[in-house]
Amino acid sequence: MNKDKSTKIKIGICVAIVLILIATAIFFIFNQKPKTDDKKLTSDITMAEGSQNKPTVSTEGEYKIDLVDSVIFNLKEVDFKFAIVKLRVQANNSINIPLNHFSTSEGINLGNVDTYIKALEEKSLFLGKQNVWYEILSNENSTMVNIFVPIKDKNAKEIILTNDLGTEEIKLNVSNSKGTAAMLQYQADDIITDGKTYQMTVSSAYPITGDTMYQNGQEYLLPSTVEVYSFKIEAVSLWGDTIVVEEAKYIPENSKETFVALDSSIQSMKYSNIIGKEINEKDSGDLFFVAYSPVESPVTYKGVLQLKVKGSDNWITINVNLN
């Protein structure tokens, strides 16, 4: 009898443990945050090796346009929803299609979306992080491209994408928003693009204190209480346009202080100042920053690097530390 009672107790304990494990598993399944694949639209992105001849604009001939993938964004930072849509475009010849040939069921022409782009960039959210383009360009007769589709109604469940190229409309299910703000925020070594003319990368900061610097042929002297940092930039003009980084600044978080990059008159014996440099192919250079950092108590600055490219109204923001 005691043996039977002991057996029942053991069975009861085992059942209780199993039920606890099941309950725990259910809790984690229903409470875990939905996973997002930050690279699903950009896994194939690479830095161009140099400039190419831009294909001639043409919408003649037959086209085939397929939906490959999409990510829907419904961010608190802006008052509209949007999709980044990956399309496969096939043609008879090389491809140059302006996006004004595409419209949405809400009446938005995709060649006229500057207001939406500006609203995002004012919040330091950049579609270039997801390799978004504002023209469909390829010297081949087939290409994949990510395009930006604004959605006025944040509660919309479906958007239809149409074009005047003779291809079928594309229906987008926009009810499931998995895009995050982080997917639109540049970090060091990301490929940065305006979706039209250039690509560039910006390295993490590295110290060059002690390297001889000069200005207009004279040595440029600095006090001992500062550190000099450099960011390496690699840039490529995709179609031969002239690309110029006009200004740069580093803004530490929780600080009223701003460090402005040394202007083009100041050079280093080892590194080339990229400010004001005209880039028509593929080239590189550095940004130089002087920051207060006493020897007895070195300072690590957390914040953002901002770049101003000639011809662009907005600054590019890269989240990177200065240390």
The reported pLDDT for the residue numbered 38 is 64
229, part of any domain: yes
In a domain, 50, yes or no: no
Q: Please choose, from the candidates 201, 171, 179, 175, the residue with its C-alpha nearest in 3D space to the C-alpha of residue 188.
A: 201
CA–CA separation, 116 and 102 (whole Å): 16
Domain contains 72: yes
pLDDT at 45: 83
Q: Are residues 221 and 156 in the same domain?
A: no
- One domain for residues 265 and 315: yes
Q: Are residues 172 and 138 in the same domain?
A: yes
The number of folded domains in the chain is 2
The pair of three-digit structure tokens given for residue 168, joined into one six-digit string: 């079928």
Please check whether residues 306 and 239 belong to one and the same domain.
Answer: yes
**Residues 180 and 216 placed together within one structural domain of the fold:** no
**Residue 83 placed within a domain:** yes
In terms of domains, do 301 and 256 share one? yes
Clarify whether residues 175 and 277 are in a common domain. Answer: no
Q: Which of 53, 44, 84, 49 is nearest to 199 (CA)?
A: 49
| 33 domain-assigned | no
What contacts 16, CB < 8 A, 6 or more positions away? none
213: domain CATH number is: 2.60.40.1240
Do 169 and 191 sit in the same domain of this protein? no
- Together in a domain, 84 and 148: yes
Whole-structure pTM value: 0.84
Domain end, chosen from 138, 167, 184, is at 184
* Among candidate residues 184, 199, 223, the one where a domain is terminated: 184
Domain that holds residue 242: 186-319
Q: Which of 150, 184, 218 is the last residue of a domain?
A: 184
Give the pLDDT confidence score for residue 85 in this predicted structure.
97
CA distances from 224 to 7, 206, 267, 271 (A): 79, 18, 19, 21
Helices (H), 96-150: 114-121
The tokens describing 138, both together, are 């390829």
| 47 domain-assigned | no
Sheet holding 81-90, edge to edge: 64-73, 81-90, 142-151
pLDDT along the chain (323 residues), means of 10: 54 58 53 53 85 85 93 97 97 94 97 97 96 95 96 96 94 95 96 96 93 92 90 96 97 88 95 96 96 61 93 94 79
Do residues 215 and 221 make contact, with C-beta atoms less than 8 angstroms apart? no
Are residue 73 and residue 168 in the same domain, yes or no? yes
